[in-house]
Amino acid sequence: MTANITRHSDKFGTAPQLSPADMAEVAALGYKTVVNNRPDGEGGADQPTSAVMEAAALAAGLKYEYLPVISGQITELQARKFAELLATRPGPLLAFCRSGARSQNLHQLARGGSISAPSSATAASACNWNDTQDIVIVGGGSAGIGLAASLKRRQSNLNIAIIEPSDKHYYQPSWTLVGASRLQSLGSILKIARSCWIRAAQ
Q: What's the pLDDT at 196? A: 57
pLDDT band at 55 (very low <50, low <70, confident <90, very high): very high
% of the chain surpassing 70 pLDDT: 70
Domains and CATH numbers, the chain: 2-115 (3.90.190.10), 120-198 (3.50.50.60)
| Overall residue count recorded for the chain in this entry | 202
Mean pLDDT of the 148-161 span:
80
**Residue 52 reports pLDDT greater than 90:** yes
CA 162 to the chain's CA centroid: 18
**Residue 202 reports pLDDT greater than 80:** no
**Residue 188 reports pLDDT greater than 60:** no
Q: What's the pLDDT at 184? A: 55
Taking only Cα atoms into account, the Rg of the chain, rounded to an integer number of angstroms, comes to: 20
**Which residues on adjacent β-strands are paired with residue 137?**
162
Backbone angles phi, psi at 14, to 5 degrees: -130, 160
Per-residue pLDDT tens over the stretch 126-146: 444 445 677 888 887 778 878
